[in-house]
Every structure is written in C-alpha cells, then in structure tokens.
C-alpha cells in the first residue's frame, strides 16, 4: 500500500498549494475571525466558484489532481491550521477556533454547479473521516472547555475529557503531518497539565493526613474520595505487604539479569512478578491460564537465547496487546473489560503499571493503546464509559506517584 504521507512529505509543495496557503495567510492577518470563517465556508464548504479568481483556479487544479484522494486531507488540514495558529495565542480570537471547525459539520446550502465543486465537496466529506479531522476536533475542545464543564458531567461525551489525560495527548493530538510547532505546543501543554495535576494531587494527599475539619482541598480526579484514597494507597503503599510497585519492579529486573534463557524469564515473569498482584479468587480462573499460555507462546524463536533489552521491550509490548487492546484496526479489548469488571479497576491499572515500571520504554506504547480505546469510545457519554474514565483517572494517579518522582 502506498504511504501517502511519505509521498506528500517528500515532495515540494506545488505552486497551487503555496498560492492557497499564501491567500489564507494574507487574509488571516487582516480580517477579523468572523470574516475569515465566512471566507473559509465559501471556499471549502460551499465551493463557490469564481473562474477569474486565482485561488479558485488553484483549488480546482488541486482537487482534480490524481493524488487528491491521498493528499487533499493534508492540504486541507494545513489550511485549517493557518488561522488556528494565528488565533490560539490571542485570547480574543480563541473562541473562533471551534466555530471554524464546526463548518465541517454544516452541509452546503447550495447545489453544486460544476464537477469541481462536486469533487471538492466529496473530498471535504472524506476529510471528516480522517485522523487529521479527529485531531482538529480534539484541539478545538480545549477552547470550548468552559462551556462543556458547565454541563452535567455524566452526560458529557468522552472526548470532552481529553484535557484531563496528558499521557494520551500525543497519540490523540498529533498526526504524521503535524508540524514541529504543533508538536511543541502539545508537548508544552502536556507538561503544564501534568505538573498541575501533580501539585493538586500532592496537596490533596497532604491535607488528607490532617484532621477532618482541616480538609479543604478538592479531589483533583473524577473518582470519589474513597476511590482516590484506595488508588493512592495501592500505588504508593506496600502492595504485597512489604514492597511498593517500584520495589517489586527493581527486584525482578535485578534477578532477571541472571536468568539463563528467555523461556525461563517468561516463566518467572508470570510466576514471580505479574500474578503476584492478581486477586487469587479471580486470577486462578481463566485469566491466569490465558496469561500463562500467552507468555509461553510469545516469541518462542528466542526461547533458548538470553534476555536482551530489545526482547524485554517486545515482550512487554505483546503483554499490552493482550491486556489492553490489540490495535486500532482490531480494537478488541474484552480482556481489559473483564479485568476491570472482575479484578477491579485499580488492581488492573496496577498490573499495567508493573509492566511499565519493569520496562519504561513501553510507556508510550501503553499510551497509544489507551488512546485507541479513548478514540473508540469518544462519542459515548461518561455514564456509559465509567470503567474507562475511572481507568484513565487511576492511571493519572499511578503515573504521577510512580514516574514523576513525587515525594510522598
């Protein structure tokens, strides 16, 4: 299959594309947002023709190109970010961003009068099914957050909660064609949100240790106070009565250096590390058997070799495939659902934390897996996805207390 992004990235922008970008940039610099939005609507949504207009002639050549099916989404995406990048740094203009993206949910008001307009509308309709458009919707959510927060939390759609989960920002807010500037903005926002959550959680933990009449710090999660306190105890306390999650990971990582072969490592990983935190009443049924068989069948071609860092990464990635979700193309996650329902959400997140603490390199892979689930359920309301929301909230606590060096 042809990699359309590679082809687009490795070629120079055509004169028609440059003319379109320059046209939009010139207008965004001098026109107020409402006028620019109307221009955008007439150009891309209605496809209003002006045969004497250079920009319409350029757009006509773009949509009639043999590569339009593969590459128009990148061109339209870049066109959207020209006003977004200009507006998002101006408090007076930020509210225009959701209005711009909302244009794509609005059907044209006039009949298409030419093949070019028909083709343009077809491509714009296809754009709504792309990852680029999904990211635009997520990005605009940040600028309509206040109005969303005033709504009943239980009836809000899952996608409106993205801002709460910095660990899935990158897989949710970036695509192949994201610019360096966009990547830096997402990274900056991620760091800011993580630091704020760490501070809020630290304050909450501190005040929980004071007399009840002194507690006035708000719970920084969507968990109940009891649920949050259980999560804090699980992720910072002695999970087996003697060791924290970090202690267990360090001990197993040290002992595995002397394991004679990969087959033995997998057996010890199952016997001595992963199942040590699984509720015996649940784990001794189907789950433990499935997990054991999965490990036995993992990368058997390496069974007689010594464990290597690369082999550890591959093993942990395959564990996450099993425990969370297989892939975006095959979003099966019945084991994760079963674990959260029967083992419990906090212990399930504890199991995922054990894998990440054993091999820090798979943290981005886990984040990608959770982003797949987030996207899969993005249009469901919170009351229909409580198990997933609570899982993400627990993971926020787990990462904060174990990976960002909070002094607890």
Encode 123-140: b = buried (16+ Cβ within 10 Å), e = exposed: bbeebeebbbbbbbbbbb
| pTM > 0.75: yes or no | yes
DSSP 8-state class, residue 143: T
Q: Name the burial class of residue 303, with classes exposed (0-12), middle (13-18) and buried (19+) by CB atoms within 10 angstroms of its CB.
A: middle
SS3 of 190, please?
helix
Query: What's the token pair of residue 142?
Result: 């940040």
User: How far apart (Å, rounded) are the C-alpha atoms in residues 217 and 201?
Assistant: 9
Packed helices 68-87 and 33-40: angle between N→C axes, nearest 10 degrees:
170
Residue-wise pLDDT tens for the chain (408 aa)? Answer: 345 777 777 788 899 999 999 999 999 999 999 999 999 999 999 998 776 689 999 999 999 999 999 999 999 999 999 999 999 888 899 999 999 999 999 999 988 888 999 999 999 999 999 999 999 999 887 766 554 555 688 999 999 999 999 999 999 999 988 999 999 999 999 999 999 999 999 999 988 877 776 667 899 999 999 999 999 999 999 998 899 999 999 999 999 999 999 999 999 999 999 998 666 566 566 888 999 999 999 999 999 999 999 999 999 999 999 999 999 999 999 999 999 999 999 999 999 999 999 999 999 999 999 999 999 999 999 999 999 999 999 999 999 999 986 554
């Amino acid at each position: 299959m042809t990699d359309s992004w590679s082809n687009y990235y490795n070629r120079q922008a055509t004169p028609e594309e440059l003319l379109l970008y320059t046209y939009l940039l010139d207008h965004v610099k001098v026109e107020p947002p409402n006028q620019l939005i109307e221009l955008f609507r007439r150009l891309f949504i209605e496809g209003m023709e002006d045969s004497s207009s250079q920009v319409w002639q350029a757009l006509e050549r773009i949509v009639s190109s043999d590569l339009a099916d593969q590459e128009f989404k990148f061109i339209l995406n870049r066109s959207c970010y020209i006003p977004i990048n200009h507006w998002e740094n101006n408090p007076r203009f930020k509210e225009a961003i959701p209005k711009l993206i909302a244009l794509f949910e609005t059907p044209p008001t006039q009949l298409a009068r030419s093949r070019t307009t028909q083709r343009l509308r077809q491509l714009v309709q296809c754009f709504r099914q792309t990852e680029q458009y999904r990211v635009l919707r997520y990005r605009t959510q940040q600028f309509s957050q206040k109005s969303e927060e005033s709504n009943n939390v239980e009836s809000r759609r899952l996608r409106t909660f993205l801002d709460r989960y910095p660990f899935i920002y990158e897989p949710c807010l970036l695509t192949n064609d994201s610019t360096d500037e966009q990547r830096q903005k997402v990274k900056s926002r991620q760091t800011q949100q993580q630091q704020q959550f760490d501070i809020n959680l630290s304050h909450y933990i501190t005040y929980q240790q004071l007399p009840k009449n002194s507690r006035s710090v708000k719970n920084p999660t969507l968990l109940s106070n009891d649920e949050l306190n259980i999560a804090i105890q699980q992720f910072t306390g002695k999970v087996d009565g003697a060791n924290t999650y970090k202690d267990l990971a360090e001990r197993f990582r040290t002992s595995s250096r002397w394991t004679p072969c990969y087959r033995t490592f997998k057996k010890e990983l199952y016997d001595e590390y992963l199942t040590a935190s699984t509720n015996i009443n649940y784990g001794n049924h189907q789950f433990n058997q499935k997990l054991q068989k999965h490990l036995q069948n993992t990368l058997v071609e390496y069974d007689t070799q010594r464990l290597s860092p690369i082999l550890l990464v591959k093993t942990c990635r395959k564990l996450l495939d099993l425990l969370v979700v297989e892939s975006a193309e095959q979003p099966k996650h019945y084991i994760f659902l079963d674990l959260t329902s029967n083992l419990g959400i906090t212990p399930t997140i504890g199991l995922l934390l054990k894998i990440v603490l054993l091999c820090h390199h798979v943290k981005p892979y886990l984040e990608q897996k959770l982003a797949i689930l987030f996207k899969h359920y993005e249009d469901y309301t919170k009351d229909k996805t409580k198990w997933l929301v609570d899982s993400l909230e627990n993971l926020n606590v787990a990462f904060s207390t174990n990976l960002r060096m909070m002094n607890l």
